[in-house]
Amino acid sequence: METECKRILLLKGLQPLNDDQFSMVKSLLDSDLGLTPKMKEDYTKVKIADMMHKKFRGILCVNKLLTLLKDIEGLEDTVKTIKNEKRKVMKKYKTQGLAPVKKRKQEVSSTDESTSTANKASRPVDDTLVSKKRKTKTTSKNKSNKTQPTSEWGQLGQPSVTGALSPASFSQPPQMPPPTPGSSFSTKKPRLKSVPTKASREEGLQTCTKEVMVLKATEPFAYDITDEERKMFHATVVTESQFFRVKVFHVGLKDKFIPKRVITLADYIGRNGFLEVYNVSSVSDVSADRKMEVSSRLIQNANATPKIKELRSEEPGTFVSGVYQVHKVSPHHCFVLFHL
């Protein structure tokens, strides 16, 4: 998808622009790409396409260009062409992403049915053994119903002189109080809802909105200083049943990632266990009255520091606590090597 999105950006979007239209685009992008006056004068369409593709990854770079071009007069046909190309790419990758999942479900269902049939066929019925078990069970039940003599009976099976046999001499089961109208007794224990102990994962571009509550966010830090300093920050967010690690590549969004605030995420990318947010328009505020019911156990798991026994079971490449990546696990589990 990355290559196809860059092709749309350069060949279908920037290439048809004349010099005046291209100058307008560079002027509108100067804050996002950090363009100086000299850069706006010297940089070609190829260079601008490279910078946009690096800043706005995947389909986001196409969305960004559409936002700029739709307001420039005379580019209606170009905007229409870009939308058509974008639709083709989205349809292609959506189809490729869903087909294997459906196939796997069918295979699992078929395997389960075959296993169940085989297990039933492999259980021979022994009529003699069944009959013997039923007879033993009946005999045991009859014995338990017979009345056993108490200590008040004499040695010859007659009542002793010092005491008479009374119904109270036999043990009786405790009596349950009668149920009150409208109530009923149940012996079933309520089933506890499982709470995830690891951050949930999503893969690829996610266009549907997700409503989340912010738990915490780090201060912005530099992650790329090869060309010019670029900054980002990490955040942890939760829904009512899951929690996610987030990478935010636009530090202007720091004001929206405030603990306990409910926000919506859209047009983000799931990659390597993170939700990656690149565009300001991907984050929206929710009504100030909106509250989200999140269990304390889920919040505790999201903020917890992983234990050593959990780290030993992680595969290389897995991110831990949203910051550290497992690089190598010792064969004898003596140590775990991390990369920042």
For CATH 1.10.533.10, list the domain ranges present in the chain: 2-88
Higher confidence at residue 288 or residue 123? 288
> How does residue 324 score in pLDDT terms, banded at 50, 70 and 90?
low
Would you say residue 229 has pLDDT above 80?
A: no
Q: Residues 297, 318, 271, CA angle at the centre, nearest 5°? A: 90
Of 64, 58, 55, 69, the residue nearest 17 (C-alpha): 69
Tell me which architecture the domain covering 2-88 has in CATH: Orthogonal Bundle (1.10)
CA distances to 197, 272, 309, 315, 318 from 312, in Å: 15, 19, 5, 8, 11
Helix axes 59-69, 19-33, angle to 10 degrees: 120
Other beta carbons less than 10 A from residue 213's beta carbon: 21
> How does residue 227 score in pLDDT terms, banded at 50, 70 and 90?
low
> How does residue 326 score in pLDDT terms, banded at 50, 70 and 90?
low
Higher confidence at residue 235 or residue 119? 235
Kindly give, in sequence order, each residue whose CB lies less than 8 Å from that of residue 280, ignoring residues fewer than 6 positions away.
250, 252, 253
Instruction: Write out pLDDT tens, residues 181-191.
Output: 555 545 555 55
For CATH 2.40.50.140, list the domain ranges present in the chain: 204-303
- Give the residue-averaged pLDDT of 320-333: 57
Please give the Cα distance from 11 to 82 (Å, whole number): 10
- For residue 196, what pLDDT is reported? 86
Q: Does domain 204-303 bear CATH number 3.10.20.310?
A: no
Amino acid (one-letter) located at 278: Y
Higher confidence at residue 325 or residue 109? 325
Q: What is the pTM of this model?
A: 0.41
Q: Which has the minimum average pLDDT: 2-16, 99-113, 117-131, 132-146? A: 99-113
